[in-house]
Amino acid sequence: MPLHKAEHSDHFDDVFASNDLDVTAPKLRVPEHQMEAKHAYQIISDELMLDGNSRLNMATFCGTWMEDEVRRLMNETFDKNMVDRDEYPQTAEIERRCVHMIADLWNAPDADQAVGTSTVGSSEACQLAGMAMKWRWRNARKAAGKNAEKPNIIMGVNVQVCWHKFARYWDVEERLVPMAEGRYIINAEEVLKLVDENTIGVVAILGSTFTGQYEPVKEIADALDKHQAETGLDIPIHVDGASGAMVAPFIQPELEWDFRLDRVVSINTSGHKYGLAPLGVGWAAWRSAEYLPDDLIFNVNYLGGDMPDFAINFSRPGGQVCCQYYNFLRLGKQGYAKIQQACQNVALYLSREIGALGPFEIIHDGSDIPVLSWRVKDGNTINGHSLFDLSERMRNRGWQVPSYTLPRGLQDTAVQRIVVRHGFSRDLARALLVDLRECVELMEKHARHPSMGEEKKQGFTHL
């Protein structure tokens, strides 16, 4: 009996019995021929399993848990280009509303006249804010007939890499406050040692990437007020609130770090961190239009309409902005406060328990942003095992707990850090502790054997 033609075709085959999956997929050259969509999907989806489980990644600050409604909105908005404001006026309107809401959260003097923009993330927002400070400083210097060729910016060595990029890409001298034993962030005294007439601004971080601590914005602002009274120099502050600017307004509302301080001229945050939006959105806001020089804004007409554009990217996804708005509507201040407080409770619980294990000194317990960090009490090792060894052992259990050395000033000190994010429950925290305790006990029992090889520094990105 003749076989039905279709039985010869690959079409009815199980994905894993197909010709496409019978060979390894092309890696470095675009293949000559097409394949079934479901086959290509299966190959890539399977390969991505090797990335591990993002919810067990304790290094990242970026959201790894989303509600189903966010996933639905992301599906429905994958085609929205944020820059096409004329074609997608409602997406642009949603961005505008978010800017107002955020400016209000940060106590802008007039949130109805909010000046700000969405970005791809904090890195882009920091470039924009840094440029605005440089342009303002340069305009003022030129207007006063003074030299404007040697701008500098003051910040801690603990700034995220985006600020080193800013200094290098925009040709601004970076003056870095080093860390010192017991001081992992900047303070007013150290900042004042570095400022001069060429200072475009001071960057204060709300939630240091290295330790999770808030830098003392008010103390620095007060010191710069005093300095201005003595010298006449008016030095602005930018607050890098990549994480903290979406935490403090909800659970530390009494802390003065934002536009309540006259000296704070701009603030950035990552919508995709404690803003709880999916990866790919950040925000920058200025105190008022005065702090965003006009000549940084381009008016483009080729999308229809005459649209102001202040961004480094042109095309970028609009879905994340829609989801940011979703979260603002869905959660309100009450919902954000509950989520951030839940994260903080877990961070405090973890730091109590990790501190009680014995060998560790807690650097920050998570009471600023819900991020805890610790170091080994006596030197850098437990029975010869380093924190890097501990990270590796934890990774065998699926946990990614990063170890890294601190920057200049404390460069020989290694620390570990956990970022407690939305979706990291107390039960998961308990599971992590059980594994951590077991790893530490093993290290205490068995000295590190030389055959374990050279100390391996785990790759780690300050995200």
Ligand X SMILES: Cc1ncc(COP(=O)(O)O)c(C=O)c1O
Q: How far is the CB of 124 from ligand X (least distance, A)?
A: 7
Tokens of 410: 């404390």
In the block, tokens 């000046």 appear at 115
Answer positive or negative: Cα dihedral of 169, 175, 181, 187.
Answer: negative
Cα 306 to Cα 36: distance, rounded to the nearest angstrom:
43
CA 247 vs. chain centroid, Å, equals 13
Side chain identity at residue 167, one-letter code: A
- Of 394 and 419, which has the nearer Cβ to ligand X? 419
x/- site string to ligand X, residues 344 to 383, per CB under 6 A?
----------------------------------------
CA 5 vs. chain centroid, Å, equals 56
N-to-C CA span, the chain? 64
Any contact of residue 129 with ligand X (CB under 6 A)? Answer: no
Among 84, 190, 240, 389, binds ligand X (CB under 6 A): 240
Q: How far is the CB of 121 from ligand X (least distance, A)?
A: 3
Among 116, 280, 282, 319, binds ligand X (CB under 6 A): 282
Q: Is 187 left (phi over 0), alpha (psi -120 to 50) or beta?
A: beta
The number of C-alpha atoms within 13 Å of 263 and in the hemisphere containing its C-beta is 24
Q: Total binding residues for ligand X by CB under 6 A?
A: 16
H, E, C per residue of 110-141: CHHHCEEEEECCHHHHHHHHHHHHHHHHHHHH
Any contact of residue 123 with ligand X (CB under 6 A)? Answer: yes
Among 107, 160, 252, 416, binds ligand X (CB under 6 A): 160
Q: How far is the CB of 211 from ligand X (least distance, A)?
A: 11
Q: Which of 122-130, 371-379, 398-406, 408-416 is the region at the interface with ligand X (rule: CB under 6 A)?
A: 122-130
Among 63, 121, 212, 402, binds ligand X (CB under 6 A): 121
Any contact of residue 84 with ligand X (CB under 6 A)? Answer: no
Given a contact cutoff of 8 angstroms between Cβ atoms, the answer to whether 416 and 401 are in contact is: yes
Q: Which of 186-194, 223-231, 237-245, 367-375 is the region at the interface with ligand X (rule: CB under 6 A)?
A: 237-245
**SS3 (DSSP) at 408:** coil
Among 99, 154, 179, 205, binds ligand X (CB under 6 A): 205
x/- site string to ligand X, residues 20 to 59, per CB under 6 A?
----------------------------------------
Among 77, 127, 209, 400, binds ligand X (CB under 6 A): 209
Any contact of residue 122 with ligand X (CB under 6 A)? Answer: yes
Given a contact cutoff of 8 angstroms between Cβ atoms, the answer to whether 267 and 245 are in contact is: yes
Q: How far is the CB of 205 from ligand X (least distance, A)?
A: 5
Given a contact cutoff of 8 angstroms between Cβ atoms, the answer to whether 427 and 368 are in contact is: no
Q: What are the φ/ψ torsions at residue 380 (nearest 5 degrees)? A: -110, 0
- Contact residues toward ligand X (CB under 6 A) are 61, 121-123, 126, 160, 162, 205, 209, 240, 242-243, 270, 282, 462-463
